Structure 1
């Protein structure tokens, strides 16, 4: 997104530094995150059909991450071209809109997941009757709509200048427009601090209850402890640096009429920290799905089931050929179709 409020780009920003690290991180996130989120999407869909409430949030989280993964090639090309946007302004706005929607949808859904886990641990009997898939679906829809409605004014109603008037850049709010500065204060407080408090509180309550439970052994309690620590540390590592930069840029804009000197010093760190936010999209499936032993076992059962099904279908086809001689391609297709139905 480009600068608004009629401000011309006067800051002397170098776009040549950090190109290789950014492209490397984006490429790794795409290579790891896309298949991991696709598998998580499928597994969570299976568990939703089995009336698992938590999987509704995991499914929505993976769906949002996959949608963002589709925009990563655009960001890689943009960084490779030294921040020269070669497509339309609308494509720039839409790509940025998808990215920041995913960023805060992910943050809010992580809060929903931790809250849901906390309710199950603290109130196992009550939550069994009160937790409903329909409620989880409505919460997910509400999160999507809320985040989209908050970002719409910034991305599409803020008199954003043409990218061609801004040296073909995209998503570079330098110098920072007043609307974006105010928005950054809200993003830091509501989009980062409050979710961080929710994550810390819910995981602390989960940890305390598990530690006091006589039904779990030391190994299981240790696993819960490290999972809670990992959730908080990953959240801080992925989101804290970028939001601290947002806050510092907003403060500099508020204190100085010309904040270009600060923008020039912090720009490289800002782009790197923005890239770090995307790592969360690749970590989420590993943290919430594949780290769970029951999920890994279910995944292995599903894969084994597919293999067994394929093996039975192949054996039935071979048996039919041995009994009736070589068949045509159409006959083999029909036999495979019959075998799959059985």
Structure 2
């Protein structure tokens, strides 16, 4: 009886409802890639322009955009993997690198959202005290340290079990059921990568709201701008990252409590987990919204940059040269005609 039960649980783990979420994941990855790539490219360029104008907040948003572009580059691989019925055919190292980028993107994004909130908190709550103390050098140093810490912490991804090898499928970072190593790793991710940043975001943005309400130096429009940015950061964080991390927590606790029959639970929660994975991926499209809300002249910066690009583009340069040449030829023809007319009169 025990043997047949174990066999049933094993078959559940080997027959996950991958097909149920295939279309959802492929469509999600495709849309996020199509929208996120141009949006983050523009955000990267525009924040770079703001960095040259000594904007401190632009440093964090620039880092956020670079991080998203790095992750977006892996989405086609994930889409192919899911479309191929969760069969990874690009080698173990490619799987590990793609998973490494995925994990790093999540936690760099979360920590940079914290940096943006803390920067706004200091600038709004301690407006007078922070004048002259918020410097780009500090923001660059903090961003560099955050990137370095997250990249180093996730190096164990290269030695963790990256999936399951069955008779007809090699998965990528879909170890089902979990093992003890992954369960504890997920608990650490929830606590350090989600719970602590969540506390920081709630505290800083709550204080920002309070200070904005009683501020007499901010106009109505400025107050609205500050509030919208705070709301956007909290909303992006809760929608994109909370469901994903709650599933991580639930899966890990369930495995630690019911190791022998965890396959049944994994089978039932898989489709929900896939939907929440889509939400975490949507973060790559949502982050450019932060730039729009953080910048006083986002639309103006966009059109200015677009105009400069069109003016300096090779096609436009070619047209200008052609028009210039035609103008010179027309002027020369007119001059020759005038000279001929003058000669005839003489």
Q: Same fold (TM over 0.5)?
A: yes
| Superposition TM-score tier, normalisation by shorter sequence | 0.7 to 0.9
1:109-148 correspondence runs (5 A): 109-148=112-151
Residues 1:74 and 2:77 are matched in the alignment:
yes
Equivalent in 315, 324, 328 of residue 319 of structure 1: 324
Contact (CA 8 Å) 1:85, 1:163: kept in 2 or not? no
1:211: Cα distance to partner? 1.2
CA distance in 2, matches of 1:120, 1:37: 25
1:42: Cα distance to partner?
A: 0.5
Structure 2 CA distance for aligned equivalents of residues 47 and 223 of structure 1 = 18
Using the TM superposition, give the Cα deviation of residue 238 of structure 1 relative to its aligned residue in structure 2, in angstroms: 0.8
In the TM superposition, 1:87-236 aligns within 5 A as: 87-153=90-156, 155-158=157-160, 163=165, 167-236=169-238
Asked if structure 2 preserves the Cα contact closer than 8 Å seen for 1:89 and 1:163, the reply is no
Equivalent residue for 1:334? none
8 Å contact 1:104–1:147 — kept in the other structure?
A: yes
Name the counterpart of 1:52: 55
Query: Is residue 85–residue 92 contact of structure 1 (8 Å, CA) maintained in 2?
Result: yes
Give the distance between the partners of 2:278 and 2:232, measured in 1 at CA.
Answer: 20
Q: CA deviation at 1:292?
A: 3.8
CA contact 2:291–2:298 (8 Å) conserved in 1:
no
Query: Which range moves more in the overlay, 235-244 or 302-311?
Result: 302-311
Which protein is bigger by CA-based radius of gyration?
A: 2
For 2:227 and 2:293, the matched residues in 1 are separated by 17
How far has the Cα of 1:308 moved from its partner? 5.6
Which residue does the alignment assign to 1:85? 88
Structure 1 equivalent of residue 334 of structure 2: none
Q: State the partner residue of 1:274.
A: 277
- Give the distance between the partners of 2:168 and 2:274, measured in 1 at CA: 18
Distance in 2 (CA, whole Å) between partners of 1:103 and 1:240 is 11
Other-structure match for 1:32: 35
* Structure-2 change in CA distance of 1:309 and 1:168 (3 Å): closer
Return closer, same or farther for 1:159/1:33 CA change in 2, 3 Å cut-off: closer
Map of 2:255 onto structure 1: 253
User: What 5-or-longer segments of structure 1 have no aligned partner?
Assistant: 1-7, 327-342
- Deviation of 1:314 after TM superposition, in Å, equals 5.0
Q: TM-score, normalised by structure 2?
A: 0.84
- How far has the Cα of 1:119 moved from its partner? 1.1
Tell me, yes or no, if the aligned pair for 2:162 and 2:173 is still in contact at 8 Å.
no
1:181, 1:250 within 8 Å by CA — same for their partners in 2?
A: yes
Q: CA-to-partner distance for each residue in 1:156-189, whole Å, 9 max, x for gaps?
A: 2235577467821111121111111001111111
